[in-house]
Each structure stands twice: as structure tokens, then as C-alpha cells.
Amino acid sequence: MSLDTKVKSRILICLFDATADKTLKKATTGTDIRLPIVGTKYKLFGIKREDFFSVAIQYVLDNAPIFCTWHGSTPEIGIVKPEYFEIVTNNAVHIKKGRLYKLLLPWLGEGLLTSTGNKWHLHRRLITPAIFCIGNKWHLHRRLITPAFHFKILESFMDVFVEKTQTLLTGLDGMSTGEPFNIYPYITECALDVICETAMGVPINAMKNKENPYVKSVYIISELILGRFIKPIPEFIYKHTSQGRLFQRTLESLHQFSDKVIAERKEALRKSCKCVLERKSEDDIFGRKKRLSFLDMLLEASEDGKIISDRELREEVNTFMFAGHDTTTANICWNLFLLGNYPEIQELVFEEVHSILNDKLTPTSISELSEMKYLECVIKETLRLYPSMPVIMRQLEQEITLGEYKIPATANITLHIYALHRSPEIYPNPNKFDPERFFPENTQNRHPYAYVPFSAGARNCIGQKFALYEEKTILSSLINRYKIVAIETPEKIRMAADLVLRPINGTVLKLERRVFGN
């Protein structure tokens, strides 16, 4: 293939073009020998699950800021630079999710996380007064969902945050003996209770009914999906393997759970004569007398299948249930882990929280949460070090230029958030936990795309405000009641290579009741 002499930029990739492939090998760092069928994925074969994340991240850091790997004959461009993140995410054209998300389709369908185009926009707009995030479908769903995250609706959820946090504290009081225990399941159950009652309008009481099958199923299917991403197997073969059969059983369990939630909410609305929600005024929508859940809005839109079908309804419920409890749990636990390792920072958080709450057990208003400025910096710094989604993917709709490389349409781009957040060029001493990085005076000159824990651009996380309020409520209450001591250190902790960044052995802590703050 001849190149126009006026084009000085080197071609990073040109799909399925042998000549361009030769150019790629000469011009690109991070391009290894490519084998048939598996591409460069062979480098990951044989790595233990507990070692996979650290090995993969080291490869990314060694080859940053841009490199190419191959999934069979399909190239994937990895990027670790804020300027490149901005080009990819700030263009509304490039909202199509990458190849990994196709593996989520049997579970999440074309919900807000995986859909594209007009459908995504419609669903997001409907839910936006309530919280959460392939073509036209994405636009449609986004417009539908956006109303669900309106401030007044978020404010109405505060009583649920408080109630579930108090239940959590009651359960943890029995564990505050100074003996180590894994707090991760406790936080998971609390987050699941919160998302079901706020977004779905259905209490499931996971904290009281232990061993919830939904949580176990999410962990299993997440691990299976990532395993298949690393070691691709054609569907007609995979479905006959033991893992394929486990995937199908787990999928059925997840769908049964979401179907049960939808059915219970429909019945509750029918009994209260609210099957069709009236919207006479904005005060009626966001008023204090009633609290509309995300599911209520979708049920209204699904009446007679006018906008969203029953199948699409389940897809969005599955998306919200997963995104609304798993990522929140991870971030809360990473916060506790870091605060347990840095007692001096923990005490600064306690002093701030105690000065705001005085003798109250938990915060009771959004205004109190808004006063917790230092805690917010702690949460942001935790998300820098341990972003819930360490990577995201996009499939380009148009050709773009990243530095000296041209990337053609249809190429898959992997945005390595974890690696970006630990770049020493952006964050001096990047592995150090330092909440002061997010003091206003320290963020003024930072590139706006140097910190993207909730993604960025049109496909940013629609539920980030909801998550912040929930996390502040739970964390402030825990710090106000207990001293936290971590057992593992950041240098020793191992992370699970799942869809969400989790500690592989949970979050083992010791809790000690404070003398005051009861």
C-alpha cells in the first residue's frame, strides 16, 4: 500500500491490511508477535487469576502512552494519555462500546451501559431526573433514564441511605471486637439494599437475608466474561463447555432475580392505583409526597410497549442492579482499606464528620454531605488509585489522529484509566494516597481528562452523584462510629481481574468502637 507523501503521520493501524501490518510492527511500541486466532493474547495464557491484573497493568505502563495488541486478527489500541482520552471520549460520534461489552449482551442486553445511538439518549433522558449509565438504541435509553437523577429525586433518597446505613451499623457492631474480618460482604448487601429500594422501589432486605444468590451470581458471571475476553472461544464451542454451561445457569439466575423485582414493583403500583404515573407538574414529578424510582419511570414508558418493551425493561434493570451496587461497594471498601492504612488521614476525616454531625449517628441531609469537603477529596483520591472500572473500551465510528498515529474507523480503543491515574507525569509519587491532590488549588492546572473514574464525555456515568451521596453517607457514618485498622497494605494487596476492580481476598479490617460518636 502506498502512502501519500504529504501524510507525515505514521499509520498505527489499518484493519486487515497486510502491508499496513508491516508498517505497524516497525512504527509501534507494544506490538508483539501475532499468532493466528489468538493474536497477542497468548502472552496472558497461564497467568494465575491473582497475578493477572498486576501483569497486565505492568505491560500497559511499560508501553504507554499508546500501543497495539491483537485479538485474533483484530487490533486493539491501548491509550494512557489525557489528551488521547479527550479526543476519544469528547466526541459524541464515538459512543459505541468496544468488543468487551459484546460479551455482556446476554446479561445486560442493550441497556444503557451497552446500547448506542438514539435509544441510549432516550432512556438516559427519561432517567436523568432519577441516576444511572450500539447505534440509535443508546441515545433512546439515555434520554429515558436521565430524569431519574434529578437533584430533587436524589434528595428524596436520603432517607433510604440513612435507614440502610443504620442497619449496616447494627450488623457491624457485633464485629467491632478488634478481631479481623472481611467487611466486603456487609457493604455489598447494604449497597444492594440501597439500589433495590431507591432505583427499583422494591425492598429486598439483603442485609437481613444473608447469602443473597444475586451477589454470588454477579461475581461468577463477571469472572466468566473476563475469562472469555482473555481466552476467546467461539460461541458454538463455548456453550458446550463446563464454563459455558455455568454461564447459562448463572445468567438464568440473574434474569430470574430481575424479573422478580420488576414483577413485585408492578404489583405494588397496581395495588396503589399508580400503574400509570400522573405528571401534572414538575412539583408532582419531584415533589416530596412521593418518590419515583428509576423503575417507575421505565414502567410508565413501557405501557403498551410505546417506548420500551418488556425485554428492554429487564435490560435496564439488570444494568442498574449491577452498576448500582457493585461499583459502589468496591469504592466504599477501597476507601476503608486506605483509611485503615493511613490513620492520620482517617482522623482528619473523623474530625470533619464529627464537627458536622455532632452527636448524630449518621448524616440526614444532602446539605450535611455537601459540607464534608475533605471526605470528598478522600473519595476522589481513592477513585484515582482504585477506579471501579480500570479500563473502558470504544469502537471508533470515524478515523481519528492520536499524536503521530492515524486510527481508522472501526478500530477498538482501550482507555486504561487505572494506568492513567498512576502516571508520574501527572501525579508525582503516584502510588501515594494523598487526598490533598484534590484540594481546589491543586487541581486548577491539571488536564481535565487526567482524572476520569466515571469515564468522560457523552458516555460518562449517569449515576455518579447518586454514588457520591450514598458513599458519603455510609463512609461518614462508619468513620464516626469506628476506628478502622487495615490488615493488608497497598504494596501487598492483590486485585481481581473482574469487570469491577476488587481486592481478590476481600477487605479484611479490624473495627474498634469510638468512645463518642454513638
Binding-site residues for heme = 461
Amino acid at 325: H
For residues 181 and 508, the answer to whether their CB atoms sit within 8 Å is yes
Distance separating alpha carbons of residues 436 and 249, to the nearest angstrom = 47
**Grid cell digits, residue 293:** 424510582
Q: Which parts are annotated binding residues?
A: 461
Q: Which of 261, 392, 388 is nearest to 318 (CA)?
A: 261
**Grid cell digits, residue 467:** 454514588
- Report phi then psi at 456, rounded to 5: -165, 170
Helical H segments across 199-276, by residue range:
213-230, 235-238, 242-271
**Grid cell digits, residue 422:** 498512576
> For residue 467, with 0-12 CB atoms within 10 Å meaning exposed, 13-18 middle and 19 or more buried, which class applies?
buried
Is residue 77 within a helix (H) or strand (E), and if so which, with residue range? strand 74-79
Gap between the terminal Cα atoms of the chain = 73
Q: For the chain, how many residues are written?
A: 518
For residues 253 and 107, the answer to whether their CB atoms sit within 8 Å is no
| C-alpha distances out from residue 55 to 48, 68, 226, 383, 517, Å | 10, 16, 15, 21, 43
Residues whose CB falls within 8 Å of the CB of residue 337, separated by 6 or more in sequence, listed in order: 486, 488, 493, 503, 507, 509
Q: Which of 342, 266, 336, 341 is nearest to 507 (CA)?
A: 336
Q: Which of 58, 47, 15 is nearest to 230 (CA)?
A: 47
For residues 510 and 487, the answer to whether their CB atoms sit within 8 Å is yes
For residues 496 and 504, the answer to whether their CB atoms sit within 8 Å is yes
Q: Which of 510, 127, 191, 136 is nearest to 339 (CA)?
A: 510
| C-alpha distances out from residue 388 to 216, 281, 332, 379, Å | 18, 37, 10, 12
